[in-house]
Structure 1
C-alpha cells in the first residue's frame, strides 16, 4: 500500500465503506476491519458507549433494546451533533431525539414485536469529547424471550453476533460486568468460540464499583486469569442517579479516575484504566488493525467490483429505465478507494 493515506484517514475510509453498504440496505457483507461490541444484556455496553460521547442517546429498558446492529461512528469535532445515514444532512443536537430515532428506525425494520434484524443503522456523532472511533453495537445476549419475542430469540442473537465476530477482520470488544463471575461471562465465552487464542478480543470490565466488599477484579485486569493478547481495561460507568441528574461528563470522568487512583487493588495500574484510556486504546487498535487489513480488503473489493459490474450489465438488460444508480455510485466509490491506496 502506498503511503498516501495518512493514519488519521484510515478510520474515515472504512466509515465511508460502511455507509455505502448501509445505504444499499444490505448487511455488511465485506469483512470490513471493525470493532464489534458484545456482552450480555446487563453488562453495561450502552453505558460504555454513552460515556465515550458523554451523552445518553441509546435506548434503554427491559428486554432487548438493541435489535439491529448500530454502526456508531464517533468523529472528533469542535461542535456536537448527531446525524443518521438514513436522514443525511439532518443535524440533531438534542440527544433524546437521537434515542427516539434509533427506536423508531428499529421498529420500521423489525416491527414492534421486538424481533431482530441484521441490517445496520448508521449513526455519526460529532463531538469534542470523542476520538475518531467506529464501533458496532450488537444486541445483548439474552436467555429469556420477552412479550412477543420469538421463542428462539437467544439463538437468533447468537447467530447475528457470530455473523460479525467470526470474521478475522473483526476486533471483538467483550464487555463483562465485574459483579458477576467473569469465568461465566457471555461476552468472553462467545469471543473464545471464534477467537480461541484471544488475539483479536479486547476485554472491558464494567461495574467494578459494584463488587462485593473485599473482592476485586485485579487478576482479570492484570490479564492473569483469562488472558487476552490485547488485555483488559476496567471502567466505572455513571450510575443511574448520575444519568438522571445529567452529571457533567467531566465530573463523571473525574469520579472514575478517583476510583482507580484511590482503590488499593487498582492504584498501581490506574493509568491503564478508565474511559478516556479505553477510547485512546481503541482508536489506536482500530487504526493499526485497518492498516494491516487494507491490502487484503482492497483485493476483495476489486473482485467484488468485477462481480458487481457484471450484475449491473445484466440488471440494465432487465430494467432499461433504471440505471441502478446506487450500485453505480458504490462502484465509483470502490474504484476511487482502490486508486487511493
Structure 2
C-alpha cells in the first residue's frame, strides 16, 4: 500500500494519537511503542535538524545541550497552542514521579512558545533536578525523564519524534565517565526495540567510518532495516572527492541502509532567520542536483518520516494490542501468586483464617484417605498421611511379633496335639503365610521409598528432643530354658512345690526389654511422617514462602510439645507393661496355658501310646488311662516348675504383646497424634488465628517491604496497561 501525505493528515491521526497517549502513560517501559528516535554524536547537527523538522529553536549553546530525552509531537488543530509536560523516567521514585508530573506549562501560540523556549527548557531541567549549567560540574548532568512538547495548530503536520542526548567520547564541560555511560545506555534503551525507527544523524564533513552511532545502531539493527541516515552540514563539504562520497551514500553505493540516506541542510548558529527554502537551494547545484529529489531537503525528509511512522504504527498495531493484553494477564497471574493483600489486621486475619480452614480440610481428607478431595494429594505423596501411618504400624506389628522378645520360647507345637487328642486348635495354613510376608516386604519397600528413616538436618534440628534415630535392634537369642532356670535359682524361696509369683514379673520384664526401643522407633517414624505431612500441607495451602516460614516458626514449639506428649504416652504404656505385676482377665490366657500343659502331657504319653488304624487307614494313638495318671512320674519338681514358668510366661507374653501393640496405636498414635484434642493436627486452626494478637499477625503474615513494593508495582502496571488497552480499543 502506498502511504501518501493525505493518508498521514486525514486517515491516521487517531491511530497515531493512540500511540502518543500510550507514550504519555509511559507504556513504553512495558511494551515497545512505534517511534522515531533521533540519535547522533554531539555536534552532529542534531539540534539544528530538530529545529528544521519541528520549528522549535533548540539552543546551540553547549552548556544547554540535550541532557534528557525530548518528545516532540505536532498536531493539526484549529486551536494554536503548545503544551509542555514531563514524563517521569521508568525507574523514578514515587516522590520524584509526582514532583515532575506536576510540571505543566501551556503557551497560547507556537510563536510565543518558540520565543520562550530556552526559558521553558531551563525550568523543565530544574524540575528534573539537573544542574543549571553543565560547565560547572555540580549536580546531576543527565536525566531519564522525558520532556514532552505537544504543538497544535492549523498549519502543523502530524509527526512525533523523540530526541535523546548525543553520544560523546571524552568528558568535557563538567561531564564524567559515568555520564558518558549513562547517555550511551539511554540511547541503547531507545534504539534496541524493533518498533523504533533510528534516525542516525551524521555530519557530511566527517568520515562516516568514524561515526560511532552507526556502529551502535548495527548492534541492534544488524541488517540496517530500520536505520535511516540523515546527512547534515553538506555546505561544509568542499572537496569533490568528499562530495562524491556523500553522493554515493545517498545513492546507496556505499554502506547501504534499507531506509537509505537523506541529505539536508539546517540553519547554523550564524544563519539567523534565513528561510528553509533558501537553504535548500544549494541542492539545485552540482553535485547535489543529480541526486533524487525525494532524498534531499527537509520537506522530503519530513514527509518520509511521517510515512514511516504511519507504516510502522499500522503494521505493529495488532501486535501491540495483543502484547498489552498478554502482559495484563501475566501481571494478574503474578499478583494472584502473591495471594490476597495483607496490608492491615483485617486482611491479615482473613488471609490466615482462610489458610487455617483449608489446612484443616486437607488434614480431615488425609485422615479419611479421601485423596480425591484435592489434586494436591496426587502431587505430593507426603500428604497421604493415614496410608503412611497404617503402613508403618503394620511393619511395626510384624517386627514386634517376630523380634520384640529377648529369647525364643520353646517350640511347643499345639498343632501336633490335634493328631492325638481331639482339642480344637486354631492354626494358619502354611499357604496363607507367604502372602502376609510378601505384603510386609512390600510395605518395607514403601517405607524405604518414603525415607521415614532418613531424617534431614532440618528435621533433626526441629525434632531432636523427640525422636530417636534408626538403630540396630538385637535379634532374639536361644536358650530360654537355661535362662528360666537361672532366674528360678536366683529367685526361689521356701515354696513347697510352687514358685514365687514375682519370678514371672522378673522374667517378663527381661523378655520385653526391647519393647521400649522398638516402640520409640515406631513412634519416631509416625512423628516424622506427621511432621512432613504438616509441612507439605502448609506448602499446598500457603504458597507465600515468607508467610509460611513465619507460620511454621509460630506453631513449631507447640507441635514439638504435642509430639513429646505422644511419645511420653507410648513410654508410659511400655512402663506399665514392664513394671506392673503380670495380670489379665482375658480367657485366652487360661486357654493357651491349658493347651500348653496338655501338649506336655501328650509328649510324655506318646512313648507309651499304641498305634491303631481305624477305618480308611487313619492313624490313631490309644492311651491307657492309668498311664495318664502316672505321666509326670519321674520328672523332677524343679523341671516341672521351670516348664510351668515357661508356659505361663509364654501365654501371658503373647496376650500382653497384642494388647500393647493395640494400646500404643490407639492411645499414643491415633488419640495423641491423629484424632485426639491434643493432636498436632489441631494446632493450626481458625480458633488459633482468632486468638492471635495484631502484632503476632503482622509478624506471621504481614507482607515484607519488598512484597508490598512488588504488589504496588504490579497493581500500577495493571492499571496502566488496562488504560492502554482501553485507548487502543477506542
Q: TM-score, normalised by structure 1?
A: 0.84
1:325-340 counterparts in 2 under 5 A? Answer: 330-340=720-730
Distance (Å, rounded) in 1 between the aligned partners of 2:155 and 2:271: 18
Q: What residue number does 2:519 align with?
A: none
Alpha-carbon distance, 1:181 to partner: 0.6
Given candidates 4, 13, 25, the residue that maps to 1:8 is: 13
Q: Distance in 1 between matches of 2:36 and 2:229?
A: 12
Change (3 A) 1:129 1:315: farther
1:18 aligned onto 2:23 = yes
Q: Which residue of 1 aligns with 2:72?
A: 72
> How far, CA to CA, are the matches of 1:110 and 1:221 in structure 2?
41
- In 2, Cα distance between equivalents of 1:99 and 1:311: 45
Q: Which runs of 5 or more residues in structure 1 are unaligned?
A: none
1:326 is displaced (CA, Å) by: 7.7
1:37 aligns with 2:38: yes
1:20–1:116 distance in 2 versus 1, CA, 3 Å: same
Say yes or no: does 1:285 pair with 2:289. no
Partner of 2:82: 82
Cα separation, 1, equivalents of 2:126 and 2:104:
19
Conserved 8 A contact 2:250-2:295: no
Q: In proportion to residue count, which structure has more strand?
A: 1
Residue 259 of structure 2 is aligned to residue 230 of structure 1: yes
Cα drift, residue 286 of structure 1: 0.7
Q: State the secondary structure of the residue aligned to 1:203.
A: strand
Residues 79 and 335 (structure 1), Cα distance of their counterparts in 2 relative to 1, 3 Å cut: closer
The answer to whether the 8 Å contact 1:298/1:338 transfers is yes
Cα 1:318–1:21 shift into 2, 3 Å: farther
Q: Could you say which residue in structure 2 is the equivalent of 1:115?
A: 141
- Give the direction of change, closer, same or farther, for the CA distance of 1:304–1:202 in structure 2 (3 Å limit): same
CA deviation profile, 1:167-221 (whole Å, cap 9, x unmatched): 1111101000001111222222211121120000011000011112423110011
Query: What does residue 153 of structure 1 align with?
Result: 179
Structural mapping, 1:116-265, within 5 Å: 116-214=142-240, 215-216=242-243, 217-243=246-272, 246-247=273-274, 252-265=275-288
Q: Secondary structure of the residue that 1:224 maps to in structure 2?
A: coil
Question: CA, structure 1 residues 100+314, in 2 after alignment: closer, same or farther (shift >3 Å)?
Answer: farther
Q: Does 1:91 align with 2:120?
A: no
Q: Is the 8 A contact 1:83 1:89 kept in 2?
A: yes
Q: How does 1:26-65 map to 2 (within 5 A)?
A: 28-56=29-57, 58-62=58-62, 65=65
3-state DSSP of counterpart to 1:145: coil
8 Å contact kept, 1:38–1:137: yes
Q: Which moved more, 1:257-266 or 1:201-210?
A: 257-266
Does the 8 Å CA contact 2:199/2:227 hold for their aligned counterparts? Answer: yes
Q: Matches of 1:316 and 1:45 in 2, distance apart?
A: 49
Which blocks of at least 5 consecutive residues in structure 2 are unaligned? 1-9, 87-102, 132-138, 348-711
Task: Give the Å deviation of 1:328.
Answer: 8.0
**What SS does the aligned partner of 2:177 have?**
coil
The answer as to whether partners of 2:200 and 2:229 remain within 8 angstroms in 1 is: yes
Q: Relative contact order: is structure 1 or structure 2 higher (C-alpha 8 Å, sep ≥ 6)?
A: 1
Give the direction of change, closer, same or farther, for the CA distance of 1:290–1:271 in structure 2 (3 Å limit). Answer: closer
Distance change (3 Å), C-alpha of 1:118 and 1:130? same
Deviation for aligned residue 1:32: 0.7
Partners of 1:228 and 1:39 in 2: CA distance: 16
Match of 2:562 in 1: none
Query: CA 1:200–1:268 in 2, change beyond 3 Å: closer, same or farther?
Result: closer
Matched positions, count: 323
Match of 1:105 among 113, 124, 130: 124
- How has the CA–CA distance of structure 1 residues 317 and 50 changed in structure 2, closer, same or farther, with 3 Å as cutoff? farther
State which drifts further: 102-111 or 304-313: 304-313
Partners of 1:129 and 1:174 in 2: CA distance: 27
How far did residue 266 of structure 1 move? 3.4
Distance 1:14 1:209, change over 3 A: same
SS of corresponding position for 2:15: helix
Contact 2:48–2:268 (8 Å) recurs in 1: no
Max radius of gyration: which structure? 2
C-alpha distance in 2, partners of 1:196/1:268? 27
**Contact 2:229–2:261, Cα closer than 8 Å, also in 1:** yes
Q: Counterpart of 1:97 in 2: which secondary structure?
A: helix
Of residues 275-284 and 69-78 in structure 1, the stretch that sits farther from structure 2 once superposed is: 69-78
Does the C-alpha gap of structure 1 residues 331 and 229 become closer, same or farther in structure 2, counting only changes over 3 Å?
Answer: closer
- Most deviating of 295-304 and 199-208: 295-304
The alpha carbon displacement at 1:292 in A equals 1.0
Secondary structure, aligned partner of 1:72? strand
User: Cα RMSD between the aligned structures?
Assistant: 3.0
Return the alpha-carbon distance in structure 2 between the equivalents of residues 99 and 307 of structure 1. 44
Note the C-alpha offset of 1:233: 0.7
- Residues 70 and 164, structure 2, Cα contact 8 Å, conserved in 1: yes
Question: Quick check: 1:43–1:176 contact (8 Å CA) kept in 2?
Answer: yes
- Is contact 2:69-2:164 (8 Å) kept? yes
